[in-house]
Amino acid sequence: MRKNRFLLVAALASTTWLFAKTVADYDHSVNFSKYHTYSWAGVNMQDSLWKDRVTKAIDTQLSAKGWSKVDSGGDASVVAVGSTRMEQTVDTWYEGGFGGGWRHQGWGGPGFATTTVERTPVGTLHVDIFDANTKKVIWHASVDDTLTGDPEKNEKKLEKALAELFKKFPPPEKG
């Protein structure tokens, strides 16, 4: 019973890092209703295949918000930077013996511990929107998500994460 409870808690804890973590912030003094057009100032991806995918996904989100892309001279400038890193997860499972704890042998004989190390790829994308005239950041957002070995699944994850990021964009006007 105790082992089953531990496995359930461990499973729930490990799933929390399987979902995208999104964060967005903005300059509260900016009136976003004055921005209608944007130009790309740069897209820098660790994997060059993702440059067009990220650009298209962000263009889709901004277009849905009523912003129009222009080749140059937009009201705002957009920059996206993406990278991938490996995160390690260490899991240790204790078996046998009576009781638990480190090096506990108890009445049931010696216990055994098995430790596994998993390396999980995690992608990070930062999106910055600048006022084109002042060159000041007016909106910043980032997303971290685990990646799979399937580029199509990762592209769907990107689209879903960006939809979540842009859900509250542009920020509401202050009255």
What pLDDT shows up at residue 7?
Answer: 36
Of 66, 31, 6, the closest CA to residue 171 belongs to 31
- Categorize the per-residue pLDDT at 8 as very low, low, confident or very high, splitting at 50, 70 and 90: very low
- Categorize the per-residue pLDDT at 112 as very low, low, confident or very high, splitting at 50, 70 and 90: confident
Q: Are strands 37-45 and 76-96 parallel, antiparallel or unpaired?
A: parallel
Residue-wise pLDDT for 133-150, tens only, equals 999 999 999 998 888 888
What pLDDT shows up at residue 46?
Answer: 81
Residue-wise pLDDT for 47-61, tens only, equals 888 899 999 999 999
Q: What is the pTM of this model?
A: 0.72
- In this predicted structure, the answer to whether residue 123 has a pLDDT above a threshold of 70 is yes
**127 vs 115, residue with greater confidence:** 127
3 state SS for 120-159: EEEEEEEEEEEECCCCCEEEEEEEEEECCCCHHHHHHHHH
Give the residue-averaged pLDDT of 27-35. 95
Of 58, 20, 22, 30, the closest CA to residue 139 belongs to 30
CATH 1.20.120 fits 20-168, yes or no: no
Domain positions in the chain: 20-168
